A and B are shown apart, each in its own frame.
Chain A
Amino acid sequence: MKIRFRIRRCSPVEKSECEPYFQDYDVEVSGGMTVLEALLKISDESDPTLVFRKSCRSAICGSCAMTINGFSRLACATQIIPEYEKMGAMVIEPLKNHSPQKDLAVDFAPFWKKIERVTPYLTPAGESIKAPVTKDDEAAIDASQRCIMCGCCNSECNALEIDPRFVAPAALAKAWRFVGDVREGGAAKRLARLSEEHGMWDCVRCVHCTEFCPKHVAPLKEIELLRSRAMKEGVTDNRGARHVESMVDSVKRVGRLDEASMTFRTLGFLRSLGMIPFGIRMEMHGKMPFPIIFPKIEKMEEIKTIFREMEEGEEKEEKKP
């Protein structure tokens, strides 16, 4: 069957300019054919000027990541017919959140800068490099090692869409690779750096990175692990960590989320004062949460038991030789 490929192209007129336009190509496709194979066919048979990156053709190198029908995928791992049948179109664009250089090839320099920001190599201290690595230790960082640096997660990241300075999921997954390594000597220092502005607490939990990672790295999981480790290491003097602490305290106290005290604790006294005019506007519509009248859930003692059991379990774990 013939399928129309609508490809977003751009040719830099001057050095920094890349005015995009769409060009259509009708491609004869057969069962099992991938988007990359179609692009190669276009390039071979009808338009040698079409630019795209590719190499391994088997979802290992990560070169051919692009936006297919609005979502970031590897062209070599996306079959045309099922995709076309589901989405009713075949629109190919460069990765999002990256500037196109020519056609489907984007500038990866900012991507690598973000990776560099998290010091992507082991920094042992003292004897830490000699720590034995058990199977469980390896399993804890296994998913993060599957990353092929294709850029799909950063392309889908909603926080990066708004804030280009955000460290973004690819680098955060990489950061966990080293923070979670038992041989690492600088985990606390790394976590403090990751807790700065535009760092790991700026993730908006949109779950795009995990949904669209072609290698099942699940960067959101690594972000959660980094945050948990920061809480345990006491790297908590920042709004993200205070936000988490206030939730934990609220559940421990009343079993539920107490929005007013969360706002107060996360923002601190002065910033909360700044919220008062807005709070009055909210209260005019009955929207202001009041902590004093916050009712507890029934059987709070069960919550207390669960907290106590988990804390005791952790202490036992720590005392193990």
Chain B
Amino acid sequence: MAELKYAYYPGCASQSMTIEANDTTRIVAKALGIELHEMPRANCCGAGLLTDYDYPLYIALNARIFAEAEQMGMDIMTICSTCLMVMSTANRDLRNDPALLERTNEVLGKAGLHYSGNVGIKQLLWVLAEDVGLAELGKRVVKPLNWLKVAPFYGCHSLRPSDALGFDDPMKPKSLEAVIRTLGAESVEYAGKTKCCGFQVDLVTEETAEEMTAKRLIEAKDRGADCMVTPCPFCHINLDNYQGLSEKRVSRKINVPVFHLAQLVGLAMGLTPHEMGLSRHLVSPERIIR
């Protein structure tokens, strides 16, 4: 087994709005023997908006994050798919383009920083599926979730662009389904599992965002899912927090609870709903918890 030691980058959402994802990840990581090391200097990756603003600035600010991890001598683990995509894309460009790396280091140098291009970036899902491994994870399951039908929701940014991420196949991903099955639950197939939740346009065109969120949830529900699980806090914000707004938009009651990945793992490991912060959800999972 790989050394389970990471520079921990929860991302901005999980330091405020979805702090339950952060809290439960720490609890579950500790229980699984995963060391999470703080990154007190880490800035926001920009969530794509810094990329829209100015590409070189986006690259420099992300390289600053990587420089901190490089100093720590660890790969980064995040619990946000958008952070994963934004950082991995910057890292791909820095690694593929020596001139970009050099220009970026000139800027970082003024702040006393340097990045050599040696940091890897992962998310919790990948760490569970590969570094911890499904066999080891399976051994920690004390309360198999064998009554639950779970719809895996990858969202966009843990799969695409695959030339920057390269863990799961964007046409046929399997890690999230494999984790669900390892936890003893049934994984439900449905059309929208690799599609978008709409988060990026929540504040720009809420009509699109709300209808998109509703479509994903309804597709899963119609295929018999009791709940959803997602590795991304932004997807969670739309699917859970804004589910009520989506219901209004499409004039249909949906009522599908949505778990953060760490919460589902924690429940199967025998941690309590209280420890897993389930009361923070707007769509209560109470009725499906045993």
Contacts and interface: CB of A to CB of B under 8 A. Distances in A.
Interface of A: 69-71, 86-87, 158-159, 161-163, 166, 197, 201-208, 210-211, 224-225, 227-228, 231, 239-240, 243-245, 247-248, 250-251, 255-257, 259, 262-263, 266-267, 278, 281-282, 285-287, 289, 294, 297-299, 301-303, 305-307, 309-310, 313
A251 to B, nearest CB: 5
Contacts of A225: 55
Contacts of A286: 280
B61 A303 contact: yes
Interface stretch (B106-114, B122-130, B133-141, B143-151): B106-114
Interface of B: 12-13, 15-18, 40-44, 46-57, 60-61, 64, 85, 107-108, 110-113, 156-157, 160-162, 169-172, 195-196, 198-201, 203-205, 207-209, 211-212, 215, 241, 244-245, 279-282
A310 B245 CA distance: 40
A267 B203 contact: yes
Nearest to B280: A285
B44 A204 contact: no
B196 A244 contact: no
A228 B59 CA distance: 14
Nearest to A245: B53
B205 A163 contact: yes
B123 to A, nearest CB: 16
Contacts of A256: 12, 15, 43-44
B200 A204 contact: yes
29 contacts: A70-B171, A158-B196, A162-B198, A201-B201, A202-B205, A205-B200, A207-B156, A210-B160, A239-B203, A243-B49, A244-B49, A244-B52, A247-B49, A251-B46, A257-B13, A257-B47, A285-B279, A285-B281, A285-B282, A287-B241, A287-B280, A297-B42, A298-B40, A302-B64, A305-B111, A306-B61, A306-B64, A306-B110, A310-B107
Given A205-B156, A231-B52, A257-B13, A158 B171 contact: no
Contacts of B160: 206-208, 210-211
B60 A310 contact: yes
Given A87-B171, A286-B280, A305-B111, A251 B61 contact: yes
A309 to B, nearest CB: 5
A309 B18 CA distance: 33
Contacts of B50: 247-248, 251
A90 to B, nearest CB: 13
B40 A228 contact: no
B198 A297 contact: no
Contacts of A224: 51-52, 55
Contacts of A313: 56, 107
B172 A86 contact: yes
Interface class of chain A by DSSP: helix
B248 to A, nearest CB: 10
A276 to B, nearest CB: 14
B156 A206 contact: yes
Contacts of A206: 156, 160, 195-196
B212 A204 contact: yes
| Closest 7 pairs (CB-CB, A-B) | A207-B160, A257-B12, A206-B196, A247-B49, A302-B111, A158-B196, A227-B52
Given A207-B156, A289-B16, A302-B112, A69 B171 contact: yes
B59 to A, nearest CB: 10
Contacts of A204: 196, 198-201, 208-209, 212
Contacts of A228: 52-55
Given A86-B171, A247-B53, A287-B280, 13 more contacts: A159-B208, A162-B198, A204-B201, A231-B54, A239-B203, A248-B53, A255-B43, A278-B245, A287-B282, A297-B41, A302-B64, A302-B111, A306-B110
A231 B57 CA distance: 14
